[in-house]
């Protein structure tokens, strides 16, 4: 069950002077390679799904796979929406099982960035989910040559960072200190003085995007100055790409499995190297001890109705499934009818919340209030409602 609260995971890294990798995945090969590296290095890790990559895979299917991989692993894992573009995509990601989200409103002006980030933080915190903000602008596109996307790098200012974190209450902050997304020519020049000042002013975990191409020594200095999460994708995609080109060069008639043969090993070696260099290797057990387990809550209602109008009852259920499943923090809504006709209660709801915090925010949500007042309570006076949290037996 080692899905853990990402806020706790990053706090542990921040306080103990290492960084956790947020590895973007675009296929099951990536997922397998990331998990295998984490297991072999006993390292905490973040499975990262970037909204800009959703054209390459089905987000919903990838989430199911990522969650299954996390649940059967023995190392602490968090699942993160990378570069979430809107409030709606943040809600969708949380309801599909992400327990961390990034708001990317860094293209907006300061006020616009604060407004959008704050709206998402309020929603996410009501679901128990931590949020990564971004201030300044890290140019480029993940997995592509940086020079093809020259956009100007805008460095994060210390004063703005302070105001931004105070006003939005983000849990960690992606800063721009000279890295770019994608592949760089030559070694980037990083502004460590600026990073040191930002860290001293904020004292929260900092995040670096565009880690590909940095030297081991640069990573060490970033981590010494408060970086506790490093986003990493391009180098993995390149390692896989090199292997695929070799496979084709050795046998130009090879098919799909021949082309992808060995790419997991190539990516895994690169991820293991990062985990060792960033200091997350060997931290799995300490994080498991320090971090809260990420546990769903089952909101269960059993009830009888005071009407013989079967279509009124089924309409109420259908409307409830539709409306309630859209509320932030609701993973699924199941309505059911008793198998035994003489059962004491004839109907049930099972509503799964991503986190205990949702008990309160769900109760107050206007869509829930309207449904309960207008459709449900008038016909379901006889009911029992209880919230259950899943048992967790470590070890």
| Residue 137, phi then psi, degrees to nearest 5 | -140, 120
Residue of this chain nearest to Zn ion (CB atom): 209
What kind and span of H or E run contains 30?
helix 28-41
As measured in angstroms, the least distance from the Cβ of 81 to Zn ion is 12
What is the Cα–Cα distance from 110 to 370, expressed in whole angstroms?
A: 36
Size of the site for Zn ion (CB under 5 A): 1
CB of 53 or CB of 194, closer to Zn ion: 53
Taking CA atoms, 261 is separated from 34, 251, 277, 356, in Å, by: 16, 12, 27, 43
| Residue 390, phi then psi, degrees to nearest 5 | -65, 135
Angle, alpha carbons 122-125-127 (nearest 5°): 115
Report the Cα 78 to chain-centroid distance in Å: 6
Is 102 within 8 Å of 132 (Cβ atoms)?
yes
As measured in angstroms, the least distance from the Cβ of 82 to Zn ion is 6
CB of 219 or CB of 349, closer to Zn ion: 219
Nearest Cα residue to 223 out of 208, 210, 201: 208
CB of 211 or CB of 296, closer to Zn ion: 211
As measured in angstroms, the least distance from the Cβ of 209 to Zn ion is 3
Region binding Zn ion by CB under 5 A among candidate stretches 201-209, 298-306, 325-333, 377-385 = 201-209
What is the Cα–Cα distance from 233 to 205, expressed in whole angstroms?
A: 20
What is the Cα–Cα distance from 347 to 301, expressed in whole angstroms?
A: 8
As measured in angstroms, the least distance from the Cβ of 305 to Zn ion is 51
What is the Cα–Cα distance from 176 to 245, expressed in whole angstroms?
A: 33
CB of 190 or CB of 302, closer to Zn ion: 190
As measured in angstroms, the least distance from the Cβ of 348 to Zn ion is 43
The residue within the footprint of Zn ion, chosen from 53, 80, 209, 365 (CB under 5 A), is 209
CB of 231 or CB of 247, closer to Zn ion: 231
As measured in angstroms, the least distance from the Cβ of 140 to Zn ion is 9
What is the Cα–Cα distance from 48 to 251, expressed in whole angstroms?
A: 33
Q: Which long-range contacts (CB under 8 A, 24 or more apart) does 69-75 make?
A: 69/31, 69/32, 69/35, 70/2, 70/3, 71/1, 71/2, 71/3, 73/2, 73/35, 73/38, 73/39, 74/2, 74/39, 74/284, 75/2, 75/38, 75/39, 75/42, 75/43, 75/44, 75/45, 75/284, 75/288
CB of 209 or CB of 268, closer to Zn ion: 209
Which two three-digit tokens encode residue 298?
Answer: 């089952």
342 is catalytic: no
As measured in angstroms, the least distance from the Cβ of 151 to Zn ion is 13
Nearest Cα residue to 200 out of 174, 184, 224, 216: 224
CB of 78 or CB of 351, closer to Zn ion: 78
What is the Cα–Cα distance from 33 to 51, expressed in whole angstroms?
A: 21
CB of 3 or CB of 175, closer to Zn ion: 175
As measured in angstroms, the least distance from the Cβ of 22 to Zn ion is 9
Q: Which of 8, 32, 58, 82 is catalytic?
A: 82
What kind and span of H or E run contains 288?
helix 284-290
Region binding Zn ion by CB under 5 A among candidate stretches 18-26, 193-201, 202-210, 254-262 = 202-210
List active site positions: 82
Interface ranges with Zn ion (CB under 5 A): 209
């Amino acid at each position: 069950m080692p899905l853990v609260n990402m806020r706790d995971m990053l706090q542990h890294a921040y306080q103990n002077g290492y960084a956790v990798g947020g590895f973007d995945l675009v296929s099951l090969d990536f997922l397998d390679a990331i998990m295998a590296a984490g297991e072999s290095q006993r390292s905490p890790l973040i499975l990262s799904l970037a909204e800009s990559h959703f054209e390459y895979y089905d987000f919903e299917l990838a989430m199911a796979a990522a969650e299954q991989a996390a649940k059967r692993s023995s190392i602490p894992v968090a699942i993160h929406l990378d570069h979430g573009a809107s409030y709606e995509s943040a809600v969708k990601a949380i309801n599909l099982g992400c327990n961390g989200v990034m708001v990317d409103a860094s293209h907006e002006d300061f006020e616009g960035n604060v407004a959008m980030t704050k709206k998402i933080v309020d929603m996410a915190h009501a679901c128990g989910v931590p949020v990564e903000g971004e201030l300044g602008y890290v140019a480029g596109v993940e997995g592509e040559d940086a020079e093809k996307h020259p956009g100007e790098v805008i460095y994060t200012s210390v004063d703005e960072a302070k105001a931004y974190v105070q006003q939005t209450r983000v849990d960690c902050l992606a800063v721009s200190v000279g890295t770019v997304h994608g592949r760089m020519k030559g070694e980037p020049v990083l502004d460590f003085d600026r990073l040191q000042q930002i860290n001293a002013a904020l004292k929260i975990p900092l995040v670096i995007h565009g880690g590909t191409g940095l030297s081991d020594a640069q990573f060490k200095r970033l981590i010494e100055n408060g970086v506790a999460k490093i986003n990493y994708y391009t180098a993995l995609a390149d390692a896989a790409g090199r292997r695929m080109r070799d496979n084709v060069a050795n046998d130009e008639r090879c098919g799909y499995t021949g082309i992808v043969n060995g790419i997991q090993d190539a990516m895994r070696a690169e991820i293991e190297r990062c985990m060792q260099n960033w200091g997350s290797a060997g931290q799995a057990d300490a994080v498991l001890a320090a971090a809260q387990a990420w546990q769903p809550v089952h909101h269960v209602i059993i009830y009888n109705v005071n009407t013989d109008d079967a279509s009124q009852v089924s309409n109420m259920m259908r409307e409830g499934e539709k409306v309630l499943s859209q509320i932030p923090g609701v993973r699924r809504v199941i309505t059911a009818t008793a198998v035994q006709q003489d059962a004491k209660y004839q109907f049930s709801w099972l509503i799964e919340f991503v986190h205990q915090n949702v008990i309160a925010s769900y109760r107050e949500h206007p869509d829930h209030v309207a449904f309960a007042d207008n459709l449900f309570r008038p016909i379901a006076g006889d009911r029992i409602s209880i919230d259950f949290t899943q048992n967790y037996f470590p070890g």
